[in-house]
Amino acid sequence: MTSDKKNISRRDFVHYSAAGLAAASVGGVITGCSPASSPMPTRRLGATGLEVSLLAFGGGSQFLSNDDGDWEPMLERAVELGVNYFDTSSSYQWGASMSSEERFGEVLAPLRDRVLLATKFDSRDPVEAMREFDQSLTRMKTDHVDVLMIHAIVPSEDITALEKGVYAEMRRLKEEGAARFIGFSSMDSAEKSREAIEKLEFDVVLLAMNPTGYGSFVSETLPAARAKNLGVLAMKVMRDIVGESATPQELLRYALSQEGVASALIGHHGMSTLQDNIGLVRSIAADGNTSMASVERRHLESRLAALAGPHALCWARPGYIDGALS
Q: Is 134 helix (H, G, I), strand (E, B) or coil?
A: helix
Tens-digit pLDDT profile for residues 89-131: 999 987 778 999 999 999 999 999 999 999 999 999 999 999 9
| Residue 251: pLDDT over 90 | yes
pLDDT value for 12: 33
Average pLDDT over residues 189-205: 98
Tell me: pLDDT of 1 over 60: no
Cβ contacts of residue 253 below 8 Å, gap of 6+? 284, 289, 290, 292
| DSSP reduced 3-state for 182 | strand
Q: Give the C-alpha distances (Å, rounded to integers) separating 305 from 93, 219, 301.
A: 32, 14, 6
What pLDDT is recorded for position 79?
Answer: 98
- Backbone φ and ψ of 153, nearest 5°: -65, 130
Q: What is the pLDDT of residue 325?
A: 60
Amino acid letter, residue 302: S
Instruction: Name the region of 243 (left: φ>0; alpha: ψ -120 to 50; beta: rest).
Output: left
30 pLDDT exceeds 60? no
Q: What is the pLDDT of residues 123-163, one digit of tens each?
A: 999 999 999 999 999 999 999 999 999 999 999 999 999 99
Residues written for the chain: 326
CA atoms of 214 and 55, how far apart (whole Å): 22
| Contact of 141 with 116, CB cutoff 8 Å | no
Evaluate if residue 13 carries a pLDDT over 60: no
Average pLDDT of every residue of the chain: 88
Supply the pLDDT for residue 324. 73
3.50.40.10, 3.40.1710.10, 3.20.20.100, 3.30.365.10: which CATH number matches 16-316? 3.20.20.100
Q: Indicate whether 190 pLDDT > 70.
A: yes
Q: Sketch the domain layout of the chain as residue ranges.
A: 16-316
Interacting residues of 57 by C-beta distance below 8 A, sequence separation 6+: 63, 75, 78, 83, 85, 86, 87, 265, 266, 268
pTM: 0.87
Is the model's pLDDT at 209 over the cut of 60? yes
**Residue 159 CB: number of other CB atoms within 10 A?**
16
Query: What does the pLDDT average to over 195-221?
Result: 97
